[in-house]
Structures are given as C-alpha cells and as structure tokens.
Structure 1
C-alpha cells in the first residue's frame, strides 16, 4: 500500500510540512503504544496480530463440506459481514456470495426465493451468539431450508464465540464451527475467521490475504514517513483537528465499492466519540465526480477526500469512432480514461485547496486486499491514539442494541423505556 499525502498539505483546512514534522514525533510515541498492545495481546490491539495468528488450515477444514456449493450466504451484521463482503465483492469466483446483513423482510424474501438452498452454504456469524438481527435472519433461513426439504445442518457453518446461543446450537447439531478471535472487535476482524470463511468457501487464496496484511504490518515504524498506515491515520487526524470533519472515501474501482462500506464502519464506530471523529462519506470514482465533486470542491471547507486505486487492472479498448468530437477517445481504453478521471479529480481538488490523499495498491487481488484491510485498521488505531480516544469500544451501538432487545421483549432495559417515552411532533 502506498500513500501520497502531498495534496494534504497547504489546503484548507491547512496542514503544512512543519506541522507534519511535529506530528511525526507524536507518531513515534503512538507506535510504541501500539507495539506494546500487540505484544501483550491487549484488547483491540490484538487485531494487528491476526496476520500471523489466523489459522487458515482450521478455516479450510471447517468449510471443506461445502466445496460443492454454488452459493455462500453469510448471515451477520456490521463487522460480522462487511469484511467478508469486501473480499467477496472484490474478487471473482464461480461460487456466488450473498449477505443477509439487514432485517428488511422484503429483501430477505426476495433473496431466499432466488437461491437454490440445496446448493447453498450458510455461514452464520455472531461473536456473542445473541445478535438479534443475525439470529432472526438465521431462523428465517433455516425455516426456508426446511420448507424446501433441505437438511440445514448439512449446509451450515457457524462462526461464533466460545459460548452463547450459536455455540450451543453448533454443539447440539454437530455443526462445523469456527472461533471468533478473542480481544478483537468485530469491525477489526476481517482478517480472521470472521472475514475469511466466506472467501475460503469461494476458493480464494486466504493465505495470500494474510500475506498482504503481514507485509503491511512489517512496515509499521516510529515514523509516519516510513509507515503508509500511520501516514494516513496521522494526516486524517491532523486535518480533522483543523476542521476536516468529513472524510470522503472514493475508490476508483467498482470492485472496491464494498471496501468503502467497510471503511465507513471502521472509521465511524471507532473514532466517533467524545465529540470527536471524522464522518466517512462513501463515494465511487468516476461515478460520483458527477454527483458529489461539486460539493467537495466548492462547498464548505470541512473535508478530506481519499482517492483509492489499483495501479494495475484488466483493461478494455475503446473502439474508434467516426464522431469527430469523440475521436480523442478512440484507440484509448476504459482503464486509461478512469486513471485520467482520478488524476483530473485530484488536481481539481488541489486547485481548489481541498485536501486529498491518494492510496494505491498494485492490484485488487487477495494480497492487495490484505494490505488495504490491515493498513486502514492500523491507520484507524493511529488516529485514535493521537486523538486520545477509546478506539475499540462502541457504547452508542450497545445502547441501541439494548433498546431494540427490550422493545422485542428480550429483557428489561432503561434504553427501551426511553424509546417508548419519545416525544412526537407529527405532521400528516
């Protein structure tokens, strides 16, 4: 992974080289803290040990019964689905991947009606085994299988913690089960069983994913000038402190669109605390140059734009044309055009003093995805350390979970009472 931060300097909000050098001294202390956390397997920091701790043989053994699957359906939500979806949606496979990560009844019905459940592997993912949305969807999937005469116990693999409802279910029905790593919040678990089981069923090289992550881990150092992940985290933090409250994350590859969704959860849930944080705005190049760039370039000076691209990709030629006004396109290629769009967007933002950063990988393949996933996790932790945040907690999310559970009759919670007592100002 490579980071070009030149266009983050001198814009508005302003960050100059002197401030960056001062920040570099803080990064040295941050690196020491992160290293200590990794060495002691401290909660959260343990995520950065996954490139060497994740047992790929264990994953392959658990999913071996599903090698004949035409489809893999992952049932999870948030961090229990987005990492797996990032890899699945970025890479081609003959085994199609779908995700039930919401409880929209119409979408769930449409999806299940479209699948041959007898040739579908179901991967249910919940660390606690109590996540309401995940378990509700799994119960619906199980019923659909039974209705079609499919033995759900032969088509299901569970990824969960050492105890809880899903662990009990796996033991009762002798289901293949994978452990969720201890000390790793869900949004940081993409490089574990949580993110890699689906990839393994699809036949992807999960060892290469971890190799890419390990390569990025080995580049962590006490200077942001030597560590791309820290450079991104530190610059994002410094610009946020100066008023860049929004981070528009814009990959120039449709295969990385879900990666932007994964990034949004990582950034929002980890850093949105104590009145701090940076709001992630998902965009897609070149599509959103025509829908959002106007705001980034000419709107409020409160944004950092992150441009992400692979430098190598399969290409497709643009045919010659008899239309004189389009002759410049003929003989070129779609990839060349997309690269030109990125270069033009980058220059346009810089000319308007809008800070932007370029993130590059060689290719969208298993190794490149490993680099990106690990790099952004380390960047997020670096940002959190610089800001003095509790990066690995999510109290606002837990509040909502309790409120919903109480409303459904799953216990008595003060949060659900506040929902019942909400004020209304209804306009009809």
Structure 2
C-alpha cells in the first residue's frame, strides 16, 4: 500500500498542511508511537487490536468452519463492528463460487423477512456475533432466524456457529447445545475486530484466504515506526488530524473499486466511533468512484473547503475491453477498457480537486486481494489509533453508543426516566 500526500500540502490545498508543520507534527507522532507500542506490548484494551496479525486464533476459526462444512448461504447476525468487517471481507474477496453472505445488522422487520424468504435455510449457516452476548438487536434477529429454521424443518443447532465472549447469554446457549463457537479476543473493540475471529470466521465460511489477510496486516504492522515519513498508516492518521484542525472536518472515503464500497462503510464506523469525542473528530463520508462523481463531486470541488477526500486506487484488476460503438463522438473509447476508463476517472477527479485547492490523499493498492485488503484494514486501524493519540481522546470506548443502547433497553422495559449521567458498561 502506498500513500500520496502531495495534494494535502499547503502548496496545493486550502486548507493544507505546510511542510514545516509536518516536520513539527512528526515529533508528536514519535511520542504517540511510543505510547502505542507500550499499549500493544502490554496488551492494553484497544491497543491489543494491533497485535491481531500475530494473535488471531486461526485454529479455532478453522475448527468451527469445518464443523459447519460447505453451505450455499451464510447468514451473519450482528451489528456494527460485529458485522461490517465480515461484510467488507466478503464484498472485497469472496469468489464467484463462494456462498452468499446475508447480513442481518438491523431490526427492520420488512428487510429481515425479505432476506429470510429468499434463502434456502436448509443450505444456510448462521453465524451469530455479539461480544457481550446481550446485544438486543442481534439476539432479536437470531431468535427470528431460529424460529424461521424451525418452521422450515431445519435443525438450527446443526447450522449455527457462535462468536461471543467467555460469558453471557450466547456463551450459555453455545454450551447448552454444543454449538461450534469461537471467542472474541480480550481487549479488542468491535470496530477493530475484523482481523480477529469476528471477521475471520465468516470469511473462512466464504472461502476467503484468511492467511493472506493476516500476512498483509503483518506487513503493515512492520511499517509502523516513530516517523510518519516511514509509515503510510501513520502518515494517513497524522494528515487527517492535521487537516481537520485546519478546517477539513469531513473525510470522504472514495474507493475506485466496487468490491471496496463496503470498506468505506467499515471506515466510517471506525473513524466516527473512535474519534468523535469531546467535541472533536472528523465526520466520515462514504462515496464510490466513479459513481459519486455524478452525485457528490460538485459539492466537493465547488462547495466549502471543509473536506478531505481520500481516494483508494487499485493497480492490478480484471479488465473488460470496450467494444467499438460506431457512434459519433465516442471515438475516444476506441481501444479502451472499463478498467482504463475507471483509472482515468480517478486521475481526472484527483487532478480536478487539486486544481480547486481541495485537500486529497491517495491510497494505492497493488490489487483487491487478501494481502492488500489485510494491509489496508490494518493500516486504517493504526491510523485511527494514532489520530486518537493526537486528538487526546479515549479512542477505544464509545459512551454515546452505550448510552443509546441502554436507553433502548429501558424503553422496551417501560422505563422512560434514564438519566444520561447513569454509569454504562462499555461493550
């Protein structure tokens, strides 16, 4: 993974980061790296996420996946970080002959019913994911899926694999029915769990190269060091932070590969839930190139300069030649390909924003393959951790989210007096 920062510097963009400011920021990056490495070495909560390339329990993943066997459908029941990582891996890496992933990450009854109605449940596996084992949306959807399987004459205990903590309702259920299960690793918040059992188990059920994922993540881990000039991950986190404090309060994540569209959703949770605290943090925005050139680019180029646009390009991809049209005005497409057109769209959009002084960064991947995706995901996690150190926020908690969860439970219990000052556990 390479990172081009030229269009985020003050010589090009407004707001932009002056080169001398980047040098000063590098001293803060060195101090932040020292703190991060200490947290990683001690396995502290959150920081332990950056150990996953080496500590992920791949043996447990393989054992659980083998007990389920081959399936045509995988129903993933989870929410937030318990679902987005797996969906990102599936959309980027699952092959054409892989089982189809269906994610139940919301409790919209129409959507849940529509999804279940179109699946042959006899050929489906269910992976229910909740670290606490008490997540209301997840357990509600799982109960609905379990009931649908019973109605279809399917023994749900033969088709269900559980991902949860060492205690809680789901752990009790798995033990009571001898269900295959894997444990959520200690010290890893959900939004940082894609490279753990949480993301790797559904990926394994879909035939994704999990070893390649972790190899790519390890490669990114080896690039972390005390200078942003030597680490693409730290450079991204530092530049995003520096642009935010100069007025670029939004970060538009815009991959130019449809397989990475869900990655932009994953990034949005990572960035928002980790950094949005104490009146600080960039607002992440999801976009897709080239589609959103026709729906959002007008604002990015000609609107207020309050955005950083992050492009994700790909070097090597399958391609499709564009047939001759024999139509006037389309001669420029002669001999071109869809991949070449997409690359040209990215280059042109990048140049367009630079010409307008809009700060942008370019992440370039070798390919959309397991190693590159593993490197990308780990790099963004490390970038987020570094940015949290620079902001001075508690990167790994999410008190606003936990308050909302408890408020929802209170409403279901008939309690409408929940005070925001109540003490809430962090899941």
Pairwise same-fold verdict (TM > 0.5)? yes
Alpha-carbon shift at residue 15 of structure 1 (Å): 1.2
TM-score normalised over the length of structure 2: 0.96
Tell me if the contact between 1:406 and 1:416 (Cα under 8 Å) persists in the aligned partners.
no
Deviations 1:60-111 (A, max 9, x none): 1011122221111110000000000000011233211110000000000000
Give the match for residue 82 of structure 1.
84
Is 1:211 the counterpart of 2:215? The answer is: yes
C-alpha distance after superposition, 1:364-384 (max 9, x if no partner): 111111011100000000100
1:298 corresponding residue in structure 2: 302
> Structure 2: how far apart are the matches of 1:41 and 1:200?
26
Distance in structure 2 (CA, Å) of the matches to 1:340 and 1:207: 33
Aligned to 2:367: 363
* Native 8 Å contact 1:315 1:333 kept in 2: yes
Aligned residue among 270, 275, 285 for 2:274:
270
In structure 2, what is the equivalent of residue 146 of structure 1? 150
Give the one of 230, 235, 238 matched to 2:234.
Answer: 230
For the residue of structure 2 that corresponds to 1:256, the secondary structure is helix
The answer to whether structure 1 residue 240 and structure 2 residue 244 are counterparts is: yes
Q: 2:169 corresponds to which residue?
A: 165
| Cα contact 1:407–1:416 (8 A) shared by 2 | no
Distance 1:91 1:32 in 2: 34
- Aligned residue number for residue 422 of structure 1: none
Match of 2:339 among 335, 339, 353: 335
SS of aligned partner of 2:227: coil
What CA distance in whole angstroms lies between the structure 2 residues aligned with 1:297 and 1:416? Answer: 40
Alpha-carbon shift at residue 321 of structure 1 (Å): 2.2
- The aligned counterpart of 2:328 is 324
Answer yes or no: is the 8 Å Cα contact 1:216–1:375 preserved in 2.
yes
In structure 2, do the counterparts of structure 1 residues 412 and 297 end up closer, same or farther at CA, with 3 Å as the change threshold? closer
- Contact between 2:5 and 2:362, CA under 8 Å: does it hold in 1? yes
Partner of residue 288 from structure 2, selected from 280, 284, 288? 284
For residue 259 of structure 1, what is the aligned residue in structure 2?
A: 263
Aligned to 1:122: 126
Contact 1:402 / 1:413 at 8 angstroms: preserved in 2? no
Distance 1:410 1:141, change over 3 A: farther
Work out which of the residue numbers 18, 24, 27 in structure 2 matches 1:25.
27
Matches within 5 A, 1:309-320: 309-320=313-324
Contact 2:403 2:420 in 1 (8 A): no
Q: Deviations over 1:310-345 (max 9, x none)?
A: 111000000112113101102110000000000000
Cross-structure match for 2:74: 72
Question: Is the 2:72–2:99 Cα contact (8 Å) retained in structure 1?
Answer: yes
| Residues in 1 aligned to 2:138 and 2:280: alpha-carbon distance in whole angstroms | 30
The structure-2 alpha-carbon separation of the partners of 1:416 and 1:115, relative to structure 1 and needing over 3 Å to count, comes to farther
Deviations 1:13-38 (A, max 9, x none): 13111111111111111111110000
* Cα separation, 1, equivalents of 2:108 and 2:194: 24
CA distance in 1, matches of 2:382, 2:415: 37
Per the TM alignment, residue 411 of structure 1 is displaced from its structure 2 partner at its CA by 7.0
Partner of 1:142: helix, strand, or coil?
A: helix
Q: Closer, same or farther in 2 for the Cα pair 1:43/1:413, shift >3 Å?
A: farther
SS at match of 1:379: helix
3-state SS of paired residue (1:295): helix
Question: Matched residue pairs, number?
Answer: 418
Kept in 2, the 8 Å contact 1:404–1:416? The answer is: no
Correspondence 1:49 to 2:51 = yes
Question: How far 1:415 sits from its partner (Å)?
Answer: 4.4
Q: CA deviation at 1:416?
A: 8.9
- Deviations 1:48-70 (CA, angstroms, capped at 9, x unpaired): 00000012121010111222211
Q: 1:155 aligns with which of 143, 156, 159?
A: 159
Give how far 1:231 is off.
Answer: 0.2
Contact residue 250 and residue 308 of structure 1 kept, 8 A: yes
Q: Are 2:40 and 1:38 aligned?
A: yes
Secondary structure, counterpart of 2:212 in structure 1 = helix
Instruction: Extract unaligned runs of 5+ from structure 1.
Output: 419-428
Query: 5 Å matches for 1:193-212?
Result: 193-212=197-216
Return the TM-score normalized by structure 1: 0.96
- Residue 119 of structure 1 and its aligned partner are, at CA, apart by 0.6
Query: Gapped runs of 5+ residues in structure 2?
Result: 423-427
User: 3-state SS of the aligned residue for 1:269?
Assistant: helix
Counterpart CA distance in 2 for 1:201 and 1:288 is 32
Q: What residue number does 2:378 align with? A: 374
Are residues 1:180 and 2:187 paired? Answer: no
